[in-house]
Amino acid sequence: MSDPQFKSLLESFESTNVDKFSALFEVKQSTYTSGNGIDQIGLHILVPRSLSDAQRQQPRPLVIKIHGGYLVVQVDLEQTLLLGESAGGYLAMQLALSYPSDIHGLIALYPMLDPQSEFYTACYQKPFHGVQNRPMSVIDDHLNTLQSTPRDQRKPVTEVDVLSRLELSFAIVQNGRIHEFLGNDDQRLFPIQRLLDEGDADALHQGAKLPPMFLFHGREDSVVPHQGTIPFAETLGKSRPLARYHLQIQPGDHGFDADASVDTTGWLKRGLDFVTAEWLKAEKITTP
């Protein structure tokens, strides 16, 4: 990992931490309920400090954020918004397609919506933010470690420092081996294919029960190409004509929206207005 571009990218990740939100939010730590009752999946709960004591006693709208990575206060489950970026955008979309009546808004930032495309299945030069292809040996070493561990000693990895998996995730996609990990024998793994299935993803109601979706992507995205989001939106419009979505393709690479705000970025405000009205069942976002 002597590549200076890769080191620079690692440093940028190290500069981000959930503690940066502590000025505006109380940051609490908890765990999800796991399927086997043993393995714990960590999560952070951010509670706005601006809430009054009276407001804290009432159900509040809920935002669930699913981060990328290449794969107390009451909450009002009638006002649930899903937010996911990159691989998290893929997971958020899969949840929305599976449980349309339980999700009331979706924001997908540069989501991975077409993992069947050549970008994910073929090996060729794919610099990510200037980082050249990681060697195939990164994947093989990881698999060898797994295979050398006795099966009864293997444990699900429910939480990990993103930096420790960054090179592995890059190597998997850059070398076109994502289906070895994601799988490819079930069409429900692929959002576009789900929209083509007349028995899936709210086909019965022509997409009317799907939550309003705000999708946005950078035109120069080197990590998750925007060419996957466009055919998804086109397929959604054709196969689910009653679905509501707002698509924005803007200049920039992966994570281009880092400094954007509703005060200065019109396209972002319009997209947030689109989902907020349904999610909060309230007026659109207003700026001072």
Predicted confidence at residue 53, as pLDDT, reads 75
* CA atoms of 179 and 185, how far apart (whole Å): 9
CB 245 within 8 A of CB 239: no
pLDDT band at 17 (very low <50, low <70, confident <90, very high): low
pLDDT band at 208 (very low <50, low <70, confident <90, very high): very high
Taking residues 275-282, what's their average pLDDT?
A: 80
Taking residues 218-225, what's their average pLDDT?
A: 96
CB 240 within 8 A of CB 210: yes
Predicted confidence at residue 254, as pLDDT, reads 94
Taking residues 10-21, what's their average pLDDT?
A: 59
Taking residues 196-212, what's their average pLDDT?
A: 96
Residue 24 pLDDT exceeds 70: yes
In the chain the domains, ranked by start, together with CATH numbers, are 54-122+180-288 (3.40.50.1820)
Residue 173 pLDDT exceeds 80: yes
pLDDT band at 1 (very low <50, low <70, confident <90, very high): very low
Q: pLDDT > 90: what percent of the chain?
A: 55
Residue 20 pLDDT exceeds 90: no
CB 170 within 8 A of CB 223: no
Taking residues 270-283, what's their average pLDDT?
A: 82
Tell me 95's DSSP state: H
3-state SS, residue 286: coil
Of residues 238 and 153, more confidence is placed in 238
The pLDDT mean for the chain works out to: 84
Instruction: Determine the straight-line distance between the first and last CA of the chain, rounded to whole angstroms.
Output: 47
3-state SS, residue 168: helix
Residue 179 pLDDT exceeds 70: yes
pLDDT band at 45 (very low <50, low <70, confident <90, very high): confident
Residue 251 pLDDT exceeds 80: yes
Residue 33 pLDDT exceeds 70: no
The helix or strand, by DSSP H or E, that contains position 83, with its residue range, turns out to be strand 75-85
Q: What tens digit of pLDDT does each residue of 121-145 get?
A: 999 999 998 889 999 999 999 999 8
Taking residues 53-63, what's their average pLDDT?
A: 73
61-75, 152-166, 240-254: least confidently modelled range = 61-75
Pairing of the two strands 41-48 and 25-32: antiparallel
Q: Taking Cα atoms as reference points, which of 126, 72, 71, 78 lies closest to residue 93?
A: 71
Taking residues 103-123, what's their average pLDDT?
A: 96
Predicted confidence at residue 283, as pLDDT, reads 41
Residue 273 pLDDT exceeds 90: yes
